[in-house]
Structure 1
Amino acid sequence: MKKTLLILLTISWLAPLVAQPTINLKYYLPQNIQYDTKIPTPKSVLGYEVGEWHVSHDQLVYYMRAIAQASDRVVLEEYARSHENRPLLILKITSPENHQNLEQIRQKHLELCDPAKAGGVNTDDMPVVVWSGHSIHGNEPSGSNAAILEAYYWAAAQGDAVNKVLDNTVILLDPCFNPDGLHRFATWANMHKSKNLVTDPASREFNEVFPRGRTNHYWFDLNRDWLPVQHPESQGRIKKFQEWRPNILTDHHEMGTNASYFFQPGIPARTNPLTPQMNQDLTAEIAKFHGKALDKIGSLYFTKEGFDDYYYGKGSTYPDIQGSIGILFEQASSRGHAQQSIHGVLRFPFTIRNQFTTAMSTVEAANALRKKLLDYQKNFHKNAPKGKTYVFGSNDKGRTYQLVKMMQQHKIEVHQAASDVTIQGQKIKKENAYVVPAGQAQSRLISGMFQVQTEYKDSLFYDVSAWTIPYAFGVPFQEGGSKGAKLEEVKFPTGKMKWAIGGQHNEVAYVFRWSNYYAPRALYRLQKKGIKTKVVTENFTFNVEGNSETFSYGSILVPVGVQKMSKNALFKEMEAITQQDGVDVYVLHKGLADKGRDLGSSSIRALHRPKVMVLAGQGVTSYDVGEVWHLLDTRYDMPVTIVDKYRFSRVNLAKYNVIVMVNGRYNDIDDDTQKIKNWVRKGGTLITIKGANRWAKNVGLASLKYVKKQPVKPIVHPYVTRRNRRGAQRIGGAIFEANIDITHPIGYGYERDKIPVFRNHELFVNKSISPYATPVYYTKTPLLSGYISKPNLKYLQNTASVIISKRGRGVVVSMLDNPNFRAFWYGTNKLFANAMFFGHIIGW
């Protein structure tokens, strides 16, 4: 009997592997209407039914172009190219009549977002605009595969009801937010598909190797880039969003295999306070349409838990601060073609059908609530609060340029300052200072970008609790300021050649300051061409064009007499970096300084060209590796070798002078510890970030001492509160103030002795016993913006952010916090650059 029962149980588990339902368009599409036979079906173009295989991005593009060519309801537009040069597409879908006047419809719609015009707009007969967006995470593919069905349905479906919807709606179908990630994952899933589908979660099909398909080319999570807009995919998308300002934007995702289906509203207590309640009310009304549609096909779902509407850098939340309704969908993921779950076998076609169903219910809701949505958008801007005026600026033109550029991408009006200003004690000339005036259309978004908040209704966050943009860029800001001329377009700043008195035709040396954001790129450009460079470790002063110019810690000196190239060739190279990197280059005519150290002083140290390796692979945070790769490759024009840990033992370390270990686990290279120690002692610079410091400490490479935490007193809490109480002790992402020693090589290029630092972990380390080994440490009252529990705030006070450990002729730079977070923390990138370029000169 027991044997029979075991056989029956085994058969019941295996049955889903054998009994595979017939997948065709009838499985997905409404069957009570006719479909135009002139419109190509997915199978007729792709060669398979939707859901039989994972669509690759090139196939997706091919089908969308076929649909646009065949239908007078669809116009296809390419709005950007990914890092891997794949096109990002938008399909503008509406009635043929609307297409005849689409530009006028768009312009009229934009009047709803203009406070000066919104009040006069009659919304009675205006079409509603819906942006249907999919798969910003490449290994969450059900959305992009559902987009194929959406395109076919709207092009082919016939009848008065369909025509009415198209008359009243402009659908912006974005079939794939992340082409590179989707293509990477589709390749993985398809290459591991068996003829007889395997549903065992242990199968390789469901377990991608590093770095997985979630991210874009540089391994960034594009769903955190809507506000920072650091990648071409995001930049193109935000430009298109601002051109249309849709009433609803949907963002189709996937989650764990054992879940069901989520749609917003999210957790009410975790809605950003700048988001109007009406936004949440409308989201709840739209949710009823999703629930009804999913009930009809028997799919389980949930709302108001697990996800929030707080960080404005996500696709489902970015619209909320601009009069639109952002909606997140999360489908339990098959992560392949069919996988066993607690609900039975979860099949890829089932996940696609759910996504298609809610995409359709979104359009249904938009039509039913058309006037209410349009009037909400109209009143959102008509009654927008005036907001505050902010002034910001920095002597670092590079960082300030990037900040202004980012704001303009969001259609924020920026003006030059009317006069010189003093911001947080720093004097800034008017040409380097900018004003964001109050009373403009994006007043709420501006508040969201400049928002400083330290008190919250809820202590749990799905993402970061703070992102105050000027802090991230390391640009001082404050309320107030008098505006000058409006900036129509910000241009990359160029530098100048400046001559010391008597310097013309008698060049002894060139010097440029390290404070410019792009100074590392300029330095590497010179080093790559074999030009000998030095760094200033003690100040000197020259008279330049009638002004007394002091060149402080970190300034880069290029002596003329020791170079292999001719004076004329060297001059051209120095002139080039003023144009390409925006640095001012000063031409010195003598070695004897007016004040301070002379140019032949031993305090001006010779530099080596960085040759960088980054360790990667399973157990390492791919985001953090990608951030280093992106910074060096796209910002500094530096090559970087990324080595998987399993190959590390076979790599010749003599080829590198900098090794970077980002957050992650490194126990699998313990056998190579001595190899790394020997390399450091011979003069190598090892940079360890966040969790990598645990490994460095454990193997004796880094001298770190953890903060001793107070023992927790026994206490009893209700079981149901366990997750919230644990979560409340996490630092999910907040901004803190740190002291920085600007005379230390790690602090070179900074002009103020305090900087904002981003932290999202709970590793607290005491300052070093060496008085020169803690160049960056938290202040006594460090919290600038974001959430941190009171016990953690106490532990953080006066602790280290960067610690130096000398080992022979080399050095270990322990960075407790990630200086390259999500590519928009421009303000701390220089800490990382300093470790690379100047680590080898650190000593005491």
Structure 2
Amino acid sequence: MKKIILLLFVISSVNLVAQDNLKLSYHLPQDVSYNAKIPTPESIIGHKVGAWHVTHDKLVAYMKAVAAASDRISVEDRGETFEDRPLLLLTITSPKNQKNLEEIRLNHLKITDSKENKSLNTSEMPLVVYQGFSIHGNEPSGANASMLLAYYLAAAEGSEIEELLTNTIILLDPSLNPDGLQRFAYWANINKSEHLNIDSNDREFHEVWPGGRFNHYYFDLNRDWLPGQLPESRARIETFTNWMPNILTDHHEMGSNSTFFFQPGIQSRVHPLTPLLNQELTKEIGNYHAKALNKIGSLYFTEERYDDFYYGKGSTYPDVNGGIGILFEQGSSRGHAQETINGVLTFPFTIRNQFTTALSTLEAAKEMRIKLLNYQRDFYTSNSSKKEKNTIKAIVFGSEKDKAKTYHLAAILKRHKIKFHKIKSDFNSGGANFKKETSYIIPTNQKKEKLITAMFEKRTSFTDSLFYDISGWTFPLAFNLEYSELKSEENIGELVADLKLESGNVSEKSSYAYLMEWHEYYSPKALNRILQNGIRAKVGMKQFTLNGVNYDYGTILIPVQNQQLNENELFAFLQNVAAKSNILITGVTSGLTSEGIDLGSGDFRILEKPKVAMLVGNGISPSDAGEIWHLFDQRYEMNLTKLDVDFLQRANISKYTSIIIPSSNLKLDAKTLNKLKAWVQSGGILIGYKNAVKWLNSNKFIDLNFENVKVDAKNISFEQKSDFSGAQVIGGAIFETKLDRTHPINFGYTSTKLPMFRRTKIFIKPDSSSFNNPILYTQNPLLSGYISKPNLNALKGTVPFQIKRMGAGRVAVFTDNTNFRAFWYGTNKLLMNAIFFGKTM
């Protein structure tokens, strides 16, 4: 009885405290007055901040209302998410600055130009601060705090706020992930009890798959600052490069039993390209956060757990661009109030901490303005002086056979405002041929020199063996493009101002056949359209020469006769396909080749129209599944049925030619397992990734042998235990493989070497028959990133791919993600080859 009374008392206390915490006075400084003409969040969204999780539409409504009411704020709509939600940006400064915003912006950019920045008087320049919130949708305290920040900056009165706004341009990004925020707010709100339930087992704290962390395609947007593959990222990168802010804050949440983190992170894991002074300034800014959190009694920690290595995160991207990136991590209530080891954690409390550190950032910006502006100027002046000593004068990259991949890497450079040029004439460097029409060259003598180095370098030496994120991301390796570092600028040609991907075409009309090589990135997009429209097509299993052209393995043949379209209709259709897929389709008049197989050979195998499904839901990695969905839907315009594992037992799967299992920890009952096996045996192609590889092996879909790694923990103290274990993780590095180009899984690849990304410790021993090992790790495989010596030794000579027959079907496995974060263009075609050519393997 006493326990029941105590529980009722606790619940009652939680509700009373939670209600008290909903008052604006709980969050806002009370030593200033507020303009009554500025709408409070509650007056627009219909509830107090923290009473409910704000939905994105209400967040947008408030931001537009406060901007309309204040001459300190201008609002910009920078585009839409995949779900058509607006990507708002509020620019907040003094009314006088608002009238001269473009002039201030252009003048601020001069600080990054070593030719112009010496004459600037930084004491008279405003500082630029970019404050971004809730890039992970289920870390909502930041986005909710952004309303309080907008209100405070619009409504606060007095000399201090006037001084701040006169000397600061604040770029407020209220929701870095609108789709994820909306998904999570819906979940938290529909599961909220009127009398708050703090039991961590309650449904409110456990989202259904895929959760609100991700965007529409389940991407972690905080890993996309450098690749810039998603609309949310492209909007914020454009804002960043247009302004080049001095400080960028990134407001996150972490586990509920945690307190509050602000940077600096672990010092031994700072990327070597980041200046030491960057970390010193980060620490100095941190003192302002500590003072503010001390004042309200909030616990916090620094220099633990998080690092500043991968430049693709919001807190590190500024560091390679002359700014200071700051990560905030608030212990998450995951709902409205939850019991934790630190007591009851309420949603309003988490919001207050985020708002408090948003203000302490601005306090630091005000006090450190000249110091931070001088740091930014010195960063680019120092870069300029180092350029003269840099022996690498330019970097050239390209592919004669794949214009699309070359274009997409160039597009990333353009997004980051890195200058690149055409080459003057064809030349050879490092054993690779670079053609004038299919290559670009980047001079290193430009202000983004450090960013260029970060994107193109291959790094295999590190001061620390632990990484919060990936340790290798070399872009030309990710794109599988030839590239070379040059010690001369002599091949630098015309500056590329208007980047365009060359449109495709059909060389000529034919009454006999059309040929399409498989090298181009968008060849699968073209083939899918052809097959989906009922056009017969075949794939060449061998090389041949026709009309003086050497055709490679995987060339697609489209006969003209006996098609459902007549000769003229087929030509018109293929013209449209070629144009929209940016490929060349060649019309030929004879099937007699000068070398190799003729066009009527049995070594041209008929292709089946693909109908593909992918398992999603409980046990499946959302990010891995999302990357595959995005690849199909956005890149190749192919339908992909997302088949929930809980529906698999009831679904009619006989219609599918392929089923993909992303990385997962599946638990299927015997009936469903047998159903899947029967589908494969009747001719289906089952494709498994990462953790699914061992699941498929243990459930006897495929017979594999694995290389096991044993590491003895000798002379390791208890304190060192965690770091020792962490050093055995392959957090994300790049490795060299050797290809058998005659195997259909490798059709479209022109080299016998392929860089592959790896994050797993799944080491498959090669098959006893060498022809069953079409992709093989070399004996010196490490190209970029970190791997421990025991893991590296185990990796050598193993295989990242296997495919084996099961009845009339095939089971194919990849040990690692071939579609990583949407920028690993170089291995996307491996999955497509398994889809289209699996029956030929």
TM over 0.5: yes
Is the contact between residue 391 and residue 479 of structure 1 (CA under 8 Å) also seen in structure 2?
Answer: yes
2:80 alignment counterpart = 81
* Distance in 2 separating the partners of 1:713 and 1:508: 66
**Equivalence map 1:104-253=2 (5 Å):** 104-253=103-252
Mean CA deviation greater in 656-665 or 474-483: 474-483
Q: What letter matches 2:396 in structure 1?
A: V
2:703 alignment counterpart = 703
Mean CA deviation greater in 380-389 or 820-829: 380-389
Answering whether residue 646 of structure 2 is matched by residue 652 of structure 1, we say no
Is the contact between residue 397 and residue 434 of structure 2 (CA under 8 Å) also seen in structure 1?
Answer: no
* Distance in 2 separating the partners of 1:792 and 1:243: 43
Q: Secondary structure at the match of 2:148?
A: helix
Taking a change above 3 Å as real, the CA distance of residues 9 and 194 of structure 1, as seen in their structure-2 partners, is closer
2:827 alignment counterpart = 828
TM-superposed deviation, 1:427: 2.4
Q: Secondary structure at the match of 2:138?
A: coil
Is the contact between residue 11 and residue 197 of structure 2 (CA under 8 Å) also seen in structure 1?
Answer: no
Answering whether residue 529 of structure 2 is matched by residue 525 of structure 1, we say yes
* Distance in 2 separating the partners of 1:362 and 1:17: 30
Taking a change above 3 Å as real, the CA distance of residues 755 and 660 of structure 1, as seen in their structure-2 partners, is same
Is the contact between residue 423 and residue 476 of structure 1 (CA under 8 Å) also seen in structure 2?
Answer: no
Provide Cα deviations, 1:534-555, integer angstroms capped at 9, x if missing partner: 1011112111xxxx10111111
1:538 alignment counterpart = 542
TM-score under structure 1 normalisation?
Answer: 0.97
1:610 alignment counterpart = 610
* Distance in 1 separating the partners of 2:7 and 2:28: 34
Provide Cα deviations, 1:351-394, integer angstroms capped at 9, x if missing partner: 00000000000011001000001111111111203153211111
Q: Secondary structure at the match of 2:33?
A: coil
Provide Cα deviations, 1:636-657, integer angstroms capped at 9, x if missing partner: 0001100111110111111101
TM-superposed deviation, 1:13: 5.0
**Equivalence map 1:678-693=2 (5 Å):** 678-693=678-693
TM-superposed deviation, 1:126: 0.4
2:16 alignment counterpart = 19
Answering whether residue 815 of structure 2 is matched by residue 819 of structure 1, we say no
Provide Cα deviations, 1:716-771, integer angstroms capped at 9, x if missing partner: 52111111000000000000001111111100000001100000011111011233
* Distance in 2 separating the partners of 1:714 and 1:636: 47
Q: What letter matches 1:324 in structure 2?
A: G
TM-superposed deviation, 1:619: 1.4
TM-superposed deviation, 1:468: 0.6
**Equivalence map 1:537-686=2 (5 Å):** 537-543=541-547, 548-686=548-686
Q: Secondary structure at the match of 1:668?
A: coil
1:785 alignment counterpart = 784
1:303 alignment counterpart = 302
1:401 alignment counterpart = 407
Is the contact between residue 709 and residue 790 of structure 2 (CA under 8 Å) also seen in structure 1?
Answer: no
1:484 to 468, 493, 497: 493
Provide Cα deviations, 1:482-517, integer angstroms capped at 9, x if missing partner: 211110021022233335xxxx6x520000110000
Taking a change above 3 Å as real, the CA distance of residues 467 and 713 of structure 1, as seen in their structure-2 partners, is closer
TM-superposed deviation, 1:80: 2.1
Is the contact between residue 701 and residue 805 of structure 1 (CA under 8 Å) also seen in structure 2?
Answer: no
1:65 alignment counterpart = 64
* Distance in 1 separating the partners of 2:439 and 2:66: 49
* Distance in 2 separating the partners of 1:669 and 1:511: 46
TM-superposed deviation, 1:407: 0.7
1:359 alignment counterpart = 358
1:507 alignment counterpart = 511
* Distance in 1 separating the partners of 2:269 and 2:741: 39
* Distance in 2 separating the partners of 1:183 and 1:441: 38
TM-superposed deviation, 1:14: 4.2
Provide Cα deviations, 1:387-427, integer angstroms capped at 9, x if missing partner: 53211111210100000001110000111112213355332
* Distance in 2 separating the partners of 1:820 and 1:683: 25
**Equivalence map 1:704-783=2 (5 Å):** 704-710=704-710, 712-713=711-712, 715-783=714-782
* Distance in 2 separating the partners of 1:330 and 1:714: 32
* Distance in 2 separating the partners of 1:753 and 1:595: 22
Superposed CA RMSD: 1.4
TM-superposed deviation, 1:775: 1.3
1:436 to 413, 419, 442: 442
1:421 alignment counterpart = 427
* Distance in 2 separating the partners of 1:465 and 1:526: 40
Taking a change above 3 Å as real, the CA distance of residues 669 and 520 of structure 1, as seen in their structure-2 partners, is farther
1:390 alignment counterpart = 395
Taking a change above 3 Å as real, the CA distance of residues 794 and 353 of structure 1, as seen in their structure-2 partners, is same
* Distance in 2 separating the partners of 1:24 and 1:800: 60
Q: What letter matches 2:778 in structure 1?
A: T
TM-superposed deviation, 1:617: 1.0
Is the contact between residue 261 and residue 332 of structure 1 (CA under 8 Å) also seen in structure 2?
Answer: yes
Q: Secondary structure at the match of 1:557?
A: strand
* Distance in 1 separating the partners of 2:688 and 2:74: 50
Taking a change above 3 Å as real, the CA distance of residues 316 and 346 of structure 1, as seen in their structure-2 partners, is same
Mean CA deviation greater in 701-710 or 595-604: 701-710
Q: What letter matches 2:493 in structure 1?
A: G
TM-superposed deviation, 1:17: 3.5
2:505 alignment counterpart = 496
Q: Secondary structure at the match of 2:464?
A: coil
Provide Cα deviations, 1:184-234, integer angstroms capped at 9, x if missing partner: 000000000100000111010000010000000000000000000010111
* Distance in 1 separating the partners of 2:563 and 2:357: 66
Mean CA deviation greater in 428-437 or 64-73: 428-437
TM-superposed deviation, 1:46: 1.1
Q: Secondary structure at the match of 1:590?
A: coil
Q: What letter matches 2:433 in structure 1?
A: K
* Distance in 1 separating the partners of 2:480 and 2:738: 13
Q: What letter matches 1:578 in structure 2?
A: A
* Distance in 2 separating the partners of 1:175 and 1:283: 23
Taking a change above 3 Å as real, the CA distance of residues 636 and 354 of structure 1, as seen in their structure-2 partners, is same
* Distance in 1 separating the partners of 2:820 and 2:687: 16
TM-superposed deviation, 1:635: 0.4
TM-superposed deviation, 1:9: 6.1
Is the contact between residue 79 and residue 87 of structure 1 (CA under 8 Å) also seen in structure 2?
Answer: yes
* Distance in 1 separating the partners of 2:789 and 2:492: 40
Q: What letter matches 1:798 in structure 2?
A: G
Mean CA deviation greater in 596-605 or 480-489: 480-489
Provide Cα deviations, 1:100-157, integer angstroms capped at 9, x if missing partner: 1111000000001112212222111100111110000000000000000001001111
* Distance in 2 separating the partners of 1:762 and 1:109: 47
**Equivalence map 1:240-279=2 (5 Å):** 240-279=239-278
Mean CA deviation greater in 321-330 or 671-680: 671-680
Q: Identical aligned pairs, as a percentage?
A: 49
Taking a change above 3 Å as real, the CA distance of residues 179 and 575 of structure 1, as seen in their structure-2 partners, is same
1:462 to 445, 465, 468: 468
* Distance in 1 separating the partners of 2:146 and 2:222: 18
Q: What letter matches 2:371 in structure 1?
A: K
Q: What letter matches 1:146 in structure 2?
A: A
TM-superposed deviation, 1:11: 5.9
TM-superposed deviation, 1:596: 1.4
Gaps of 5+ in 1: none
